[in-house]
Amino acid sequence: MRTVITGEAVQLELPAASVVVRGTSLLIDLALYVLIYIGIQLLFGYYSGQILQTMDPAMYAAFSLSTLVLCFVILPIVIETLSRGRSLGRLIMGVRIVRDDGGTVRMRHALIRGLVGFPEIFITLGVLPLFCGMLNARGKRLGDMAAGTYGILVRQPKVRPMMLPVPQHLTSWTQIADLGRIPDRLALRLSRLLRRMETTGRGDNIAVLHRTAEQLAEELRPHISPPPPPATSLEFLTAVMAERRNREYRRMRRQQDRTAELGRRLHTLPYS
């Protein structure tokens, strides 16, 4: 997960596509462009076979070069511009090209990527973008570096929400506990641990997970006030995360009710 700061100073977490995913989408796109190139050659030869036989070699070379540029430079630029960073390969692999600030790419970005990408990909046979992607934190190639873009994953696996209840003997404490000072990174680690305990917390892994729960509980206690009553580390973590979930749910429901009430009042006003 890569952090992006937009022009409005908003921090976004956009998952950068890996080199393998981007390479696969590139191969799919290249296969499509090759088929289009072969189709144009066959179509032109079918309708003007006699012309090709009498055509000057220099003119035929110019025609072949123009078709090559059309299929492997102009067509990718047009598709990327009109689809706003998508293509057939990226659509299949769930990838989109965006600016470094997370915004939508424009024609100039696609133009730079296309002009740099043709010699970068075809002259080096894909070796240069492979090494650039492996050395860059966001998997960028030279075209991305020149245009200020990178690829993100737009399809994420669905995460089943955890429905762990608050332990009964900690219910009264969670009603008065201050849980708003927990750092987001620590809360993410707690969520991952509880999800692991819920799914695979059995067998030989249970001892390791309990030790991890004790370590996270020690990190969490300075951010909680007042201190919890006597309980195991796992019960303490479960109570905190379950209460955070419940409070967030109640907050969203109140916001939804206010929005619905505002919409109802607006629709009852007479239109002028």
238 and 183 both lie in a single domain: yes
10 and 101 both lie in a single domain: yes
Per-residue pLDDT at 229: 86
Structural domain containing residue 13: 2-153
121 and 188 both lie in a single domain: no
20 and 147 both lie in a single domain: yes
113 and 190 both lie in a single domain: no
Per-residue pLDDT at 55: 63
Choice between 51 and 100, residue whose per-residue pLDDT is larger: 100
Q: Examine residue 163 and state whether it is found in any structural domain, yes or no.
A: no
80 and 139 both lie in a single domain: yes
Across the chain, what does the average pLDDT equal? 82
**97 phi and psi, to 5 degrees?**
-90, 125
126 and 258 both lie in a single domain: no
Query: Can you tell me which residue has the tokens 């008065």?
Result: 176
3-class secondary structure per residue, the chain: CEEEECCCCCEEEECECCHHHHHHHHHHHHHHHHHHHHHHHHHHHHHCHHHHHHCCHHHHHHHHHHHHHHHHHHHHHHHHHHCCCCCHHHHHHCEEEEECCCCECCHHHHHHHHHHHHHHHHHCCCHHHHHHHHHCCCCCCHHHHHHCEEEEECCCCCCCCCCCCCCHHHHHHHHHCECCCCCHHHHHHHHHHHHHHHHHCCCCHHHHHHHHHHHHHHHHHHHCECCCCCCCHHHHHHHHHHHHHHHHHHHHHHHHHHHHHHHHHHHHCCCC
Q: Which of 85, 120, 153 is the last residue of a domain?
A: 153
- pLDDT tens for each residue of 75-99: 999 999 999 999 999 999 999 999 9
102 and 228 both lie in a single domain: no
Q: Which of 130, 153, 176 is the last residue of a domain?
A: 153
Q: Examine residue 162 and state whether it is found in any structural domain, yes or no.
A: no
Q: Which of 94, 127, 153 is the last residue of a domain?
A: 153
Per-residue pLDDT at 3: 53
Per-residue pLDDT at 203: 52
- pLDDT tens for each residue of 190-206: 888 888 877 665 555 77
Residue 124 vs residues 43, 117, 127, 131, 146: alpha-carbon distances, Å: 30, 10, 6, 11, 17
Q: How many domains does the chain have?
A: 2
Choice between 109 and 271, residue whose per-residue pLDDT is larger: 109
Q: Examine residue 159 and state whether it is found in any structural domain, yes or no.
A: no
- pLDDT tens for each residue of 137-184: 888 999 999 999 999 888 776 666 667 788 888 888 888 888 878 888
Q: Is the pTM of this model over 0.75?
A: no
108 and 243 both lie in a single domain: no
Q: Examine residue 53 and state whether it is found in any structural domain, yes or no.
A: yes
